[in-house]
Structure 1
Amino acid sequence: MSAAEYAELRLSDRPDWLYLLREFQELYRRRSAGGSKPIRSHMKAVRDAIGKVIAADAPVRPRAPETKPVTAHFARALDNGRMQVTGSVVRSLEHVAPELSWLYGYDKVPAGLGRKYAYAEIAGPFGPVVSEHVILGLVLFGPSCTYPAHAHDGLTESYVTLSGSVSENDAGVFAPGSLIFNPPGRTHRITTADHEPSLLAYAWHGPAEVLSGQKMVFSRPRGARKRSST
């Protein structure tokens, strides 16, 4: 299929992407907000944003498939996730897995992290499913990974654990089905289990200009000059 033909495709032409978006929408419908009004509001905002993308029959503009060293763990993460409470999302992911473009998102990746981390977008301003309302994607961590402290200015972020388990800021362990919420500007650091990979879905919600202009930067260590980080 030519690039011009790909450019004309929409969700209705690519049902595997449509089904995956619906699975993401259900992730944010079935999870409990735990009585938290900010989390409940974020979950509704993400659901509504996905609904707008689906109703618009959004364009699907696949990126060139790309792997990173950590994607050697992807099959294991999928295997571990199939029988979890989020298994329907994992099974839907398998149908688009060969098309995913795994990226770092940082100009400079800390030593060692390049073998234990990568992300792949599902929807956003730059595709594959084109959306100005929300960014959806996946983060894959290898075993014994420390994802350094960072924050996101001007948008709310959440993760839903699909496979494996993680800790954020050493405040509890998040097993499959757990939702982690980060309001704008909250600095967070993620660590993973010693012997298994972890696969997380994520959603970013905020103004269109913020979503399209996000630059990912790790926070500086204590004692270094302060710098805005996202």
Structure 2
Amino acid sequence: MINEFLTSLPLSPQRTQRVSLNQSNQGTKEFEDEITERKRVEAELREREERKDLMLRTMPSALFTVDLNRRITSRNKKAEDITGLKAEEVIGQDCITAMNCDACKKGCNLFDDSIEKPIYGKECTMEINGKLLTISKNADIFRDSEGNILGGLESFIDVTEQKRAEEALKKKNEELERFNKQAVDRELKMVELKKEINALREELGKEPRYKNAINYKESESK
């Protein structure tokens, strides 16, 4: 009761002024703290965005993101370097149309639930402005905090020259194998011919002319 009575008493003008001043100071302090926190969060977001941009600019792989409709929402500079397509040419475009990838035309693996994610090292061919490129790409989907799919991300590297070198090496190896087989066949024919000559000389009572053919015959019998 006493506490209720005391709190019901009117404040003196001086005390009322002090209370109002304290409340004003407290409100100002809270406002300043809010401004400080907001600036800290904004600075942190800017720093995070700058780090992301730096990573995208310097990473050795091309990278682009798509939404649920497979429309390109972003891409890095390396993607432009490899494809020759500028941002304004691809942002908002369907990725299958923009990137013109043969594997994607057969079916989009990114949003296919039957295909395990992430996808690594899938090779495909892109034809852009009449230029054929062979790429090796990785792909995965990304989700929000509740697990809902927001879109997809693909990165790729240009392996066109590597594939050309591999194909050239394969052809050279095949050519060498054919040459070696032809050389062996010629050698066998020469040996057979020398053996026939030796046999004819023996019939005539003469010494064999080609000793190596005899040795070859002996080695065959072993």
TM-score, structure 1 normalization? 0.23
TM-score, structure 2 normalization? 0.24
Name which one, 1 or 2, has greater alpha-carbon Rg: 2
Which structure has the highest helix share of the two? 2
Q: Which structure's relative contact order is higher, taking Cα pairs within 8 Å and 6+ residues apart? A: 1
